[in-house]
C-alpha cells in the first residue's frame, strides 16, 4: 500500500462521517419544525389586571365639633405608654474564652490545604459571630478511612456557649458539633 491509498481511505471515512452528521442534523430539524402544533392556553377576553372598584359615593360631610375639655391628668393616665423605638430581642452572642474547654467543630476536611480557605469562608459568612473565635485544627487519623483535619472554632468556657454558637451556625445551613478539647 502506498501513502496515497491511506490518505484517500481516510478522506472517504471523513466524507461518510460528515454525511451521517448532516443527515442526523437534518432529521433533528425536520422533527423540530414538523411537530404538531402544541395547544396553547388562551387568556380570557377583557382586562388582564384587576380594575379598582367603582368609586364610592362621597361621604357625608361631618360637622366639626369642639372637643370636650379633658382633665390632663386623666388623659395621661388612660393613654398607655408606647415606646417609639423598641429594641428587638437579638439572639445572644456566644462568649469566647481565652483557653476554654469546648470547641465547635465546623467541618472535617481531608485536605490540609483546604482548612484555611474554609475558615475564611465561614468567617466571611458571619463576621460578627466569628469576631472573637480562634481557628483550631485537630488532625484525626481514621485508619482505612484516611486522615481528616477537623476545623473547629473556639474556645468556649461552657458547653452552653458552644451550643449557642452551633445553633447560629445551623441557622446558616451548616452542620456543627460541640466537642471538648
Domain annotation for the chain: domains and CATH numbers: 102-180 (3.30.70.1070)
What digits encode the pLDDT tens for the residues 108-167? 999 999 999 999 999 999 999 998 899 999 999 999 999 999 999 989 999 999 999 999
* Spatial separation of the C-alpha atoms in residues 119 and 112, rounded to whole Å: 12
Give burial (CB, 10 Å; 0-12/13-18/19+) of 174.
middle
Question: Omega of the bond prior to 59 within 30 degrees of 0, cis?
Answer: no
What digits encode the pLDDT tens for the residues 48-95? 556 556 666 555 555 555 555 556 555 555 555 545 444 444 557 888
* Spatial separation of the C-alpha atoms in residues 146 and 151, rounded to whole Å: 16
What digits encode the pLDDT tens for the residues 1-37? 566 666 777 888 899 999 999 999 998 888 877 767 6
- Predicted TM-score (pTM) of this structure: 0.50
Question: Can you give the pLDDT at residue 29?
Answer: 86
Identify the helix (H) or strand (E) that includes residue 149.
Answer: strand 147-156
* Spatial separation of the C-alpha atoms in residues 73 and 63, rounded to whole Å: 28
Which DSSP state fits 156? E
Cα angle for residues 23, 27, 30 (degrees, 5° grid): 135
Q: What are the cell numbers at 163?
A: 451550643
Amino acid at each position: 500500500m502506498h501513502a496515497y491509498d491511506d490518505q484517500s481511505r481516510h478522506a472517504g471515512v471523513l466524507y461518510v462521517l460528515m454525511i451521517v452528521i448532516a443527515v442526523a442534523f437534518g432529521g433533528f430539524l425536520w422533527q423540530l419544525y414538523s411537530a404538531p402544533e402544541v395547544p396553547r392556553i388562551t387568556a380570557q377576553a377583557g382586562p388582564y389586571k384587576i380594575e379598582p372598584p367603582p368609586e364610592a359615593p362621597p361621604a357625608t360631610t361631618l360637622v366639626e365639633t369642639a372637643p370636650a375639655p379633658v382633665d390632663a391628668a386623666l388623659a395621661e393616665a388612660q393613654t398607655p405608654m408606647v415606646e417609639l423605638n423598641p429594641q428587638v430581642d437579638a439572639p445572644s452572642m456566644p462568649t469566647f474564652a481565652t483557653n476554654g474547654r469546648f470547641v465547635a467543630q465546623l467541618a472535617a476536611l481531608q485536605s490540609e490545604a483546604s482548612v484555611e480557605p474554609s475558615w475564611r469562608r465561614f468567617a466571611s459568612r458571619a463576621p460578627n459571630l466569628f469576631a472573637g473565635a480562634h481557628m483550631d485544627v485537630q488532625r484525626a487519623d481514621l485508619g482505612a478511612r484516611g486522615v481528616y483535619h477537623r476545623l473547629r472554632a473556639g474556645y468556649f468556657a461552657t458547653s452552653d456557649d458552644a451550643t449557642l454558637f452551633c445553633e447560629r451556625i445551623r441557622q446558616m445551613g451548616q452542620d456543627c458539633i460541640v466537642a471538648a478539647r
